[in-house]
Amino acid sequence: MKFLIVGLGNPGIEYSETRHNIGFKVLDALAGASNIIFSPGRLGDIAEIKHKGRTLVLVKPSTFMNLSGKAVNYWMQEEKIPVERTMIITDDLALPFGKMRIKGKGSDGGHNGLKSINATLNSQEYPRLRFGIGNNFGQGQQVDYVLGKWNEEELKTLDERIKIAAEATFSFTTAGLPRTMNMFNNR
C-alpha cells in the first residue's frame, strides 16, 4: 500500500532552519531513519521509503508555500494515491511550540500552504499533522516570526518533537488516522 507524505516548507537554504519549514524537517527525519536521501523531482524533492509493508512517497514541494497545492495534486495523480492516504505536515501558529494536532479535515486556519491545497483539491478533507510553532510575536510581526529561526529554548526539544511527529506519520500509515489521532494528539 502506498502513502503520500507531503511536508510543507519553502525551498532554499535561507529557509531551511525556519519555523515555516517544519514539514521539511519532519520528512528529513523520516528519510534519515531509513538512510534515504531526497532527489530532485517534478515540483519538489522526492524520497521513497518502505515501512512495515507500506511505501511512503515523501515530497518536499519546490513550489514555495503559497503554491503547495500544485505539488500535492501532481504527486497524488502521478503516484495514484487517494486523498485519504495523503498526509500533509505543516506548521501551526495556533498551537503551542511542539504540540501536534492530527486531523482528517479542517480549515486552512490562515495558513497559505493549506489554502493552496484546499483550493487545488477543492476540498478541506485530507489528513494533516499540524506542528505547533507557538505565537510568541508582537503585532505585525507574524511573517518575521514564521520565517524566523528557532530560538535557543525551542532548539532544546525540537529534535525530540520532530521524532514524535515522524512516529505519528509512521503510525498514520500502519494504524490508520483515528488510532493515530488518539495516540498522538495529546503528546
Q: Catalytic residues, which ones?
A: 20
Cα–Cα dist 106/100, whole Å? 14
Q: In this structure, are residues 58 and 30 in contact, taking their beta carbons and an 8 Å threshold?
A: yes
Q: Environment class of residue 83 by beta-carbon count within 10 Å: exposed (0-12), middle (13-18) or buried (19+)?
A: middle
At residue 135, the 3 state secondary structure works out as coil
9: which 3 cell numbers?
Answer: 516548507
